[in-house]
Amino acid sequence: MSELLRIEDLSAAAEDKELLHGVSLEVSEGETHVVMGHNGAGKSTLGSVIMGSPEYKVTGGKLIFDGEDITALGADKRARLGIFLSFQNPIEIPGITLSDFLRNALEQVTGKHLKLWDFKKKLAAAMELLDMDSSYADRDLNVGFSGGEKKKAEILQLLILEPKLAILDETDSGLDVDAVKTVSKGIEEYKKRTNGALIVITHNTKILEALTVDKTHILSAGSIVSEGGAELVDEVIENGFEQFAGRE
Amino acid sequence: MKGKTQVVDIDRSRYDFRYEEDESEYLESGIAPEIIKAISDEKNDPDWMREFRLKSLEIYDRTPMVDWGPDISGLNVDSIVAYIRQKNRMKTDWEDVPEDIKETFEKLGIPQAERESLAGVGAQYDSELVYHNVRQEVAQSGVVYTDLESAMHDPKYAEIIKSHFMKLVPPTDHKFAALHGAVWSGGSFVYVPKNVHLDIPLQSYFRLNAKGAGQFEHTLIILEENSYLHFIEGCSAPKYYEASLHAGCVELYVGKGAKLRYSTIENWSKNMYNLNTKRALVEENGTIEWVSGSFGSHVSYLYPMSILNGRGASAEFTGITFAGEGQNLDTGAKMVHNAPETSSYMNTKSISKSGGVSTFRSAVVVKENAKGSKSSVNCESLMLDSISRSDTVPVMDIRTKQCDIGHEAKIGRISDETVFYLMSRGLSEEQARAMIVRGFADNVSKELPLEYAVEMNNLIGLEMQGGIG
Amino acid sequence: MNNMSETKINILPVPTFRWLGVNDYKHDIKEFKTDSSEISVSENESKSEVVYIDREGSSDIHISAENGSKVKLVQVFDVKGQAKSKVTAELGENATLELVELFLGGEVVSEIVTDLKGRKASFEADIGFKLDDGDKLDINLLADHHGRKTVSRINASGVLGGDAEKTFKGTIDFKNGSDGAKGAEKEEVLLMSDTAVNKTVPLILCAEENVEGSHGASVGRIDEKQFFYMQSRGIDEEKIYDLAAQAKLAKVISRIDDKETLARIYARLGRGDESE
């Protein structure tokens, strides 16, 4: 399998405080990676930096996606290359409906004009899969959505945009059992359709049940302190993170 | 819950004593060229200052009355005594200050404060500074703290004064700025050299004792690069029935990376027309912080302006205004963003009671060149009864797309739910209401040095008196 | 037609610093013949009117809404040249006025004075604007709360491009006797150019204790978080501004239900497909 994303010795800071210190990681096409760690370990920072959030400044190292150095690219360019981030806290955008927003995004990502009718059909199908009421399509994006609905709306966007790499930042947190199931179903569907790669940031195993994990990375205080296969996930669940601390 | 809580007026008795002044020391009342010349003679003004005063008088004569804000028709400038001569020259040893004046300031706790927590003190009584002193170690660091007249005659500072005096607030600014330019007297000159940090504050205290008089002190502060200063200004006067006028002027120059905190507790008596002008010019990465408590005066016009003139400059204004019976206090701030990446914050509270009128008035101007600037304004008003009045008059003038400007304002009363909540935890209604009013003022009082916060609490003297049923 | 008017217009109820230039409308407006009309609604009736102003002129509409009546007035301004509009309203007990004003171009001076006279009278105003080179807009809106438990809600939002100049003066005035009244005002302005001028002047005047008043304003660029979120979905800066501009008008437009008017608005905004 060929390499999709290569993170080389990446350091990043927010407001002059370095949060990631020399992180390296490789993801090949179709792989599923899990990133675990305590709150504040830098997991979400890593996801946001891969997407190109202006909140963080890359202070060292680089990001190579599909053979291209994307370290200096804006988020929109990265999205068009095929990177997707499911936000931990999706942003509310008053005045723009979910449907309108997603249609615009899809046109920009694919560079093709889409007939309204075709888009609506595609959207309706994906919403049905995610048990989303069709009325959400005409509601302002994420505005007044419950926590669960927001997460579903993220997965809905994943299904429509079909990126090559999806980063799921705590997509399962704060969801009840049924909602986790629905969201998992969406992720499975994405894998099935596109064989896209996944970076799953979580501290829960529920969302991983339906997925075949290839690699696990444990992050602590901004550095990767341990790596392994799927078995590492179980080890963490059983014994916690403490054992990895300082095991650089 | 029918009972209305009474918030008792600020207890001013502490400030309401006075001494008989010797009438022969008065200059004639009114504003005329002869009077201006007499002031110049008295002060032995350099030529440029003589001209400046007369020019200002001309501007005063042709400038129309201010056309915003509270009514000031009760003020007859022609009956105001612009200048009161002091029998004795300024002292640097407290023991040498004349007995009656000394007693006045002692009652106000000034010498004690100096001993305990200040780096230097200036005290102005009517028109002239009567006392000025700085700690030795402060003076040795190169800090200058003296009265403006002495500095003007000192060859070391004469040029600095000439090139800065009323350059930020020109006499053409408004009628009372012109008046100030003509009759100014007293005030302070502070100079803080590069990289000098004064950890303890300097303080000026202004006391207007004579009746029917005006006080027109001028404060000029210059902070060189990367220096720090906290300057405190306190004002009070006993109550007379004749109107008094305070038209001071404060000009602050904050150099690159320097930081100035300017705190004011204003407690003029209720016959005072307080028409004060304050302005700061802030260079690259410099900071001005205003903390302002307005409690006294019959009428107040006070809106310190911060001109953010260098990249990364910032300004913060925290203020509280308490308007009680017979008071009309028009206060606020102005922020002018004139360079990229500048930021301004305004946080104000006002309380109106017993027929008092408080107005929050502000301006935030973001110019074309202020790209990447931020401003946030937050003002809250509390009405304690229905015979009072509270107005909010903010203006935003924004001329660049690359900025984030936010504004929030709220007006209301003490909420019954909050009172109920506190009562459910065992507080009486009076205690609950008192706590809420105190809490309302809290974010300002916590910005003040401790002894001033205590002073402010005394000043508010919020005595709550229940009336249930 | 070319006599410049000498009397001051759109006067701010409480004047402020002269140098800010907001105390009245500072440009000259031609002396038009004023077209006056009256909308009277009797008790418990309701009336709705839509006006599309695309020619120069001056209009004066007086609304009198009796107890329990409902009035809705929509005015869309898209002029080449100047227009002057004045709406005065008097609301009885439980009467409601819904006012929508949308500004798409020209030099427009609009004054709105609503007297919330009767108990529980309510006033909702939605003001939208999308202005570009050469456009000028000066709005002076007053909600005078006289009656007890009266309610006003004022929302203004819009986009300024080119060298457009806009001043929105919105005043909530709690008069003596307006016990239990509530008023809320909000303005959101998106600036699309560095030559546009936005002035926001939200006043609250209060002479009554038991009232609740608030105003909020946000002016400038798109919120950073929103911007990144949209960008992360592949949308570029230009399109993001496009969408944000649409969003600023969406709420105001959603208050208009007249099909024909909507079609005209969408055609003007170059969004033909939305009226389907």
A101 contacts in C (CB within 8 Å)? Answer: 230, 233, 243
Q: How would residue A48 be classed by pLDDT, with cut points 50, 70 and 90?
A: very high
As a whole-number percent, the residues of chain B with pLDDT over 90 amount to: 46
Report the pLDDT value the prediction gives residue B271, as an integer from 0 to 100: 83
Q: How would residue C1 be classed by pLDDT, with cut points 50, 70 and 90?
A: very low
C206 contacts in B (CB within 8 Å)? Answer: 381, 383, 389-392, 411
Q: Total domain count for chain A? A: 1
- Regarding chains A and C, contact by 3 or more CB pairs under 8 A is answered as yes
The answer to whether the Cβ–Cβ distance between C191 and B398 falls below 8 Å is: yes
As a whole-number percent, the residues of chain B with pLDDT over 70 amount to: 74
The answer to whether the Cβ–Cβ distance between A109 and C248 falls below 8 Å is: no
Convert the pLDDT of each residue in A238-248 to its tens digit.
887 777 765 44
Convert the pLDDT of each residue in A185-213 to its tens digit.
999 999 999 989 999 998 777 788 878 89
Chain A interface includes C234 (CB < 8 A): yes
CA distance B184 to B51: 13
Chain A interface includes C248 (CB < 8 A): yes
What tokens were used for C266? 């969408």
Contact call for residues C132 and C103 (beta carbons, < 8 A): no
CA distance A198 to A46: 14
For an interface test with C, the pick among B390, B414, B433, B437 (most C C-beta atoms closer than 10 Å) comes out as: B390
Mean pLDDT of chain A: 90
CA distance C225 to A88: 13
Q: Which of B368, B389, B398 sits opposite C207 (nearest CB)?
A: B389
Q: CA B173, B175, B176 angle in degrees (round to 5)? A: 95
What tokens were used for B31? 């504003």
Stretch B361-378: mean pLDDT = 96
The answer to whether the Cβ–Cβ distance between B411 and C213 falls below 8 Å is: yes
Chain A interface includes C228 (CB < 8 A): yes
The answer to whether the Cβ–Cβ distance between C233 and A87 falls below 8 Å is: no
Asked whether the predicted pLDDT for residue B12 surpasses 90, the reply is: no
Q: Which of C15, C199, C206 sits opposite B390 (nearest CB)?
A: C206
Convert the pLDDT of each residue in B343-358 to its tens digit.
999 999 999 988 999 9
Contact call for residues B100 and B88 (beta carbons, < 8 A): no
A139 contacts in C (CB within 8 Å)? Answer: none
For an interface test with C, the pick among A48, A73, A76, A161 (most C C-beta atoms closer than 10 Å) comes out as: A76
Contact call for residues B139 and B132 (beta carbons, < 8 A): no
Q: Which of C228, C235, C249 sits opposite A108 (nearest CB)?
A: C235
Chain C, nearest residue to A93 by Cα: C226
- Regarding chains A and B, contact by 3 or more CB pairs under 8 A is answered as no
More confident residue, A242 or C178: C178
Chain C, nearest residue to A140 by Cα: C247
C148 contacts in B (CB within 8 Å)? Answer: none
Asked whether the predicted pLDDT for residue C154 surpasses 50, the reply is: yes
Closest Cα of chain C to B220: distance in Å?
24
C194 contacts in B (CB within 8 Å)? Answer: 368, 371, 399-402
Report the pLDDT value the prediction gives residue C5, as an integer from 0 to 100: 44
- Which residues neighbour A183 within 8 Å (Cβ) at sequence distance 6 or greater? A130, A151, A152, A155, A171, A172, A175, A207
Could you give the maximum distance between any two Cα atoms of chain A, in Å? 56
More confident residue, C148 or B98: C148
The answer to whether the Cβ–Cβ distance between C218 and B398 falls below 8 Å is: no
The answer to whether the Cβ–Cβ distance between C233 and A109 falls below 8 Å is: yes
CA distance B276 to B217: 10
Domain membership of residue A145 as a residue range: 3-244
Helix axes B110-117, B99-107, angle to 10 degrees: 60
Chain B, nearest residue to C199 by Cα: B397
Closest Cα of chain C to B2: distance in Å?
13
For an interface test with C, the pick among B6, B337, B369, B398 (most C C-beta atoms closer than 10 Å) comes out as: B398
Chain A interface includes C250 (CB < 8 A): yes
Could you give the maximum distance between any two Cα atoms of chain B, in Å? 71
The answer to whether the Cβ–Cβ distance between C243 and A100 falls below 8 Å is: yes
Asked whether the predicted pLDDT for residue B465 surpasses 50, the reply is: no
Report the pLDDT value the prediction gives residue B209, as an integer from 0 to 100: 64
Reduced to 3 states (helix: H, G, I; strand: E, B; else coil), residue B311 is: coil
Q: How would residue B385 be classed by pLDDT, with cut points 50, 70 and 90?
A: confident
More confident residue, B355 or B268: B355
Q: Compute φ and ψ for B227, nearest 5 degrees.
A: -100, 170
The answer to whether the Cβ–Cβ distance between C246 and A108 falls below 8 Å is: no
C14 contacts in B (CB within 8 Å)? Answer: 68, 359, 391, 393
Report the pLDDT value the prediction gives residue C272, as an integer from 0 to 100: 53
Contact call for residues A167 and A47 (beta carbons, < 8 A): yes
Region of poorest pLDDT, from A215-219, B412-416, C250-254: B412-416
Distance of CA B272 to the CA centre of its chain: 13
The answer to whether the Cβ–Cβ distance between A75 and C228 falls below 8 Å is: yes
More confident residue, C165 or B445: C165
Report the pLDDT value the prediction gives residue B24, as an integer from 0 to 100: 46
Report the pLDDT value the prediction gives residue B16, as an integer from 0 to 100: 58
Q: Which of A74, A93, A95 sits opposite C231 (nearest CB)?
A: A74
Report the pLDDT value the prediction gives residue B454, as an integer from 0 to 100: 66
**Residue A224 host element (H or E):** strand A223-228
Q: CA-CA distances (angstroms) from residue B245 to B250, C102, C155? A: 16, 49, 43
Mean pLDDT of chain B: 82
CA distance A158 to A166: 8
Report the pLDDT value the prediction gives residue A116, as an integer from 0 to 100: 87
C233 contacts in A (CB within 8 Å)? Answer: 79, 84, 101-102, 105, 108-109, 157, 161
Length of chain A: 248
C270: alpha, beta or left? (left if phi > 0; alpha if psi -120 to 50): left
Asked whether the predicted pLDDT for residue B20 surpasses 80, the reply is: no
Q: CA-CA distances (angstroms) from residue A1 to A27, A29, A197, A244? A: 10, 6, 11, 29
Q: Residue C222: which of A92, A104, A107 has the closest Cα?
A: A92
The residues spanned by each domain of chain C are: 31-271
The answer to whether the Cβ–Cβ distance between C237 and A76 falls below 8 Å is: yes
The answer to whether the Cβ–Cβ distance between A96 and C247 falls below 8 Å is: yes
For an interface test with C, the pick among B71, B277, B411 (most C C-beta atoms closer than 10 Å) comes out as: B411
Q: How many CB atoms lie within 10 A of CB C184?
A: 17
Indicate which CATH number applies to the domain containing A30.
3.40.50.300
Report the pLDDT value the prediction gives residue A248, as an integer from 0 to 100: 41
**Residue C243 host element (H or E):** helix C237-253
The answer to whether the Cβ–Cβ distance between A84 and C232 falls below 8 Å is: yes
Chain B interface includes C198 (CB < 8 A): yes
Q: What is the DSSP letter of C3?
A: P
B407 contacts in C (CB within 8 Å)? Answer: 200, 202, 215-218
Contact call for residues A186 and A129 (beta carbons, < 8 A): yes
DSSP-assigned states of every residue in C13-72: SS---GGG--SS--S--B-PPEEEEEEEE-TT-EEEEEEEE-SSEEEEEEEEE-TT-EEE
Report the pLDDT value the prediction gives residue B186, as an integer from 0 to 100: 84
Asked whether the predicted pLDDT for residue B436 surpasses 90, the reply is: no
The answer to whether the Cβ–Cβ distance between A96 and C250 falls below 8 Å is: yes
B397 contacts in C (CB within 8 Å)? Answer: 20, 197-199
Stretch A16-37: mean pLDDT = 94
Chain C, nearest residue to A51 by Cα: C232
Stretch A112-133: mean pLDDT = 92
Q: How would residue B2 be classed by pLDDT, with cut points 50, 70 and 90?
A: very low
Q: How would residue B78 be classed by pLDDT, with cut points 50, 70 and 90?
A: confident
CA distance A30 to A166: 10
Closest Cα of chain A to C257: distance in Å?
17
List beta partners, residue C59: C35, C85
Stretch B282-288: mean pLDDT = 98
Q: How many CB atoms lie within 10 A of CB A229?
A: 11
